[in-house]
C-alpha cells in the first residue's frame, strides 16, 4: 500500500512541476519579465527533465558493453564458485569407496591344494593351468581384483615357461638360433623363437603360446581399466570372473568404440 502511494506521488511530481513551470513561463512572457529566447532554454530543460534519466541509463548500458572487463568480472566470480562447491562432495566420496582386495594368498593355497588331484602331476605348468581354471569360475567384483589375478597369472606363466625351456622368455629369444637348450640339448636351432619352439617340441610351443596370450590379455585388461568402460554392462553374469574379464577385455574395448 505504501509503495503504491509512493509510486503514484512519484509519477505526479514531473507533470505537476512541468505545468507549474509552463504556466509561470507563459505568465512571465506575457508580463514581459522573460525574454522569448528563454523558450529555447526551457524546451531543452524540459527534454532533459523528462528523458534525462532514461538517457543516462542507456548511456550506462552502452558503457558497460564497451568495457567488457567490468561485467565478466562480476559473472566469473559469482558463477564458478557454486560450480566448484557442487561437484566437490561427489568427488570426495569416490576415493572413500572401498575396493575389495583379492586374497591372492588363499587363492594360491586353493590352487595348490587342487592341482594334484586334478592334474595328477604337480609342476609349474599344471599350477598355471589350475590357476587359470580357478580364475574362470571365480567371481570378480572390481576390475582391480582382475588386475591382481592377471599379474599373478603372468608370474605363473613365466615360471611354467622357464620349467619347460630352462630359460626365461627373453633368454629363449636370445638363444633361439642355437642348437639344444638347457632342458634337452638335442633340439635344432631355429631362425626365431617360433621355429625353435616347433623344433624343440609340442610342450615348448604350447607354453610359448600360453605365456604370450597371458601377457597380451594382461595388457588388454590394463587398457580396459584405464578406459573407465562399464565392463559389467558388457558381460553376462557367468562371464564376470577373474579370468574372463581379462580374456574378454580386448573384445569389450573393441565393441565400446
Distances (CA, A) of 109 to 98, 119, 126, 131, 134: 25, 16, 14, 10, 11
Min CB(183)–Zn ion separation in Å: 6
Residue 63 or 184 having the CB closest to Zn ion:
184
Binding region for Zn ion (CB under 5 A): 181, 184, 187, 200
Cα 210 → chain centroid: 33
What backbone torsions phi and psi does residue 190 show, to the nearest 5 degrees?
A: -115, 165
Residue 124 or 201 having the CB closest to Zn ion:
201
Residue 146 or 200 having the CB closest to Zn ion:
200
- Cβ–Cβ < 8 Å for 171, 128: no
**What is the C-alpha separation between 85 and 169, in angstroms, rounded?**
53
206 is written with which cell numbers?
Answer: 604350447
Residue 176 or 253 having the CB closest to Zn ion:
176
Min CB(200)–Zn ion separation in Å: 5
Torsion of CA 201, 205, 210, 216, to 10 degrees: 170
Residue 102 or 187 having the CB closest to Zn ion:
187
Min CB(197)–Zn ion separation in Å: 10
Min CB(181)–Zn ion separation in Å: 3
Name the one residue in this structure whose C-alpha cell is 512541476.
Answer: 17
Cα–Cα nearest to 142, from 223, 231, 216, 226? 231
Min CB(127)–Zn ion separation in Å: 22
Min CB(250)–Zn ion separation in Å: 32
Residue 162 or 217 having the CB closest to Zn ion:
162
Cα–Cα nearest to 138, from 36, 244, 241? 241
Amino acid at each position: 500500500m505504501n509503495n503504491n502511494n509512493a509510486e503514484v506521488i512519484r509519477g505526479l511530481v514531473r507533470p505537476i512541476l512541468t505545468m507549474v513551470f509552463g504556466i509561470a513561463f507563459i505568465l512571465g512572457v506575457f508580463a514581459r519579465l522573460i525574454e522569448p529566447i528563454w523558450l529555447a532554454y526551457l524546451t531543452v530543460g524540459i527534454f532533459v527533465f523528462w528523458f534525462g534519466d532514461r538517457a543516462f541509463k542507456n548511456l550506462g548500458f552502452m558503457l558497460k558493453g564497451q568495457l567488457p572487463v567490468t561485467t565478466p568480472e562480476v559473472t566469473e566470480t559469482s558463477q564458478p564458485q557454486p560450480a566448484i562447491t557442487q561437484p566437490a562432495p561427489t568427488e570426495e566420496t569416490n576415493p572413500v569407496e572401498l575396493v575389495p582386495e583379492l586374497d591372492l594368498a588363499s587363492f594360491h593355497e586353493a590352487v595348490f591344494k587342487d592341482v594334484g588331484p586334478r592334474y595328477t602331476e604337480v609342476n609349474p605348468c599344471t599350477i598355471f593351468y589350475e590357476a587359470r581354471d580357478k580364475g574362470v569360475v571365480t567371481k570378480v567384483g572390481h576390475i582391480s581384483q582382475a588386475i591382481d589375478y592377471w599379474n599373478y597369472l603372468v608370474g605363473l606363466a613365466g615360471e611354467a615357461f622357464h620349467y619347460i625351456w630352462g630359460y626365461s622368455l627373453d633368454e629363449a629369444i636370445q638363444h633361439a638360433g642355437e642348437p639344444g637348450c638347457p632342458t634337452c640339448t638335442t633340439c635344432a636351432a631355429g631362425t626365431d623363437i617360433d621355429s625353435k619352439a616347433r623344433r624343440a617340441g609340442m610342450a615348448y610351443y604350447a607354453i610359448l603360446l600360453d605365456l604370450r596370450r597371458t601377457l597380451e590379455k594382461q595388457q588388454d585388461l590394463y587398457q580396459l581399466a584405464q578406459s573407465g568402460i562399464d565392463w559389467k554392462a558388457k558381460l553376462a553374469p557367468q562371464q564376470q570372473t577373474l579370468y574372463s574379464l581379462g580374456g574378454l577385455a580386448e573384445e569389450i574395448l573393441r565393441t565400446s568404440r
